[in-house]
Structure formats: C-alpha cells, structure tokens
Structure 1
C-alpha cells in the first residue's frame, strides 16, 4: 500500500541515486579529458623519439 511515508522514502532514494550518478558522470568526464591529454602527449613524444633515433642512426651510418 502506498502512503506518504513510502513516497517520501522513495523520493529520497531517487534523489540520492541521481546525485551519485551525477558525481560518477562528472568524474568520468574529468578522466576522459585527462586521458585525451595523455594521448596527445604520447603521440608527440613517440614522434620525437622516432625522429631522434633516425638522426642517431643516420649519424652512425655515414660513409
């Protein structure tokens, strides 16, 4: 049977659940930005490392 107390409890649980879900989504968005920034840094560092290794090999194999 539905009464005012049950509705109050259900409303409170829904509000707490929505708040928790909002916090999780906000945390995921922050993490997504961090992961994207790390991806760009790794691409740049990989490119620089490849160029440096090519330059070293080129210097060592000169006739």
Structure 2
C-alpha cells in the first residue's frame, strides 16, 4: 500500500499563494484541483495537485 500525502485547504492556498476565496471560486467554476473527502473533511492529494499544476502549466493556463 502506498503512503499518500494529503494537504488541507489552507496548505493548498499557501502552496499556490492564493486566498481561500479564490480557491472557493475555482471550485464553483470547476477549475480547482480534485478533492478527497475523508468523512467530513476535505483534503487534497499532493500527487493529484502536482499533476493538476503540471497540466495547467502545459496548457499555458494561469493559476
């Protein structure tokens, strides 16, 4: 079994240097990184976040 690393919403915002409001807006419009729901909490798989950032970089999209 692989040990997966998950980060919080706050950690993701710090990593991307964006506000929580921006992340919420990205979720509403469907451009945020995928989330992982663990019971009542929302987390982000760091591998999926990195893949999402790579895809955005390759397509030339801005944050």
- Between 1 and 2, higher relative CO (CA 8 Å, sep ≥ 6) is seen in 2
TM-score, with structure 1 as normaliser: 0.29
Flag the structure with higher strand content.
2
Q: TM-score, normalised by structure 2?
A: 0.29
From the CA coordinates, give the structure whose radius of gyration is larger.
1
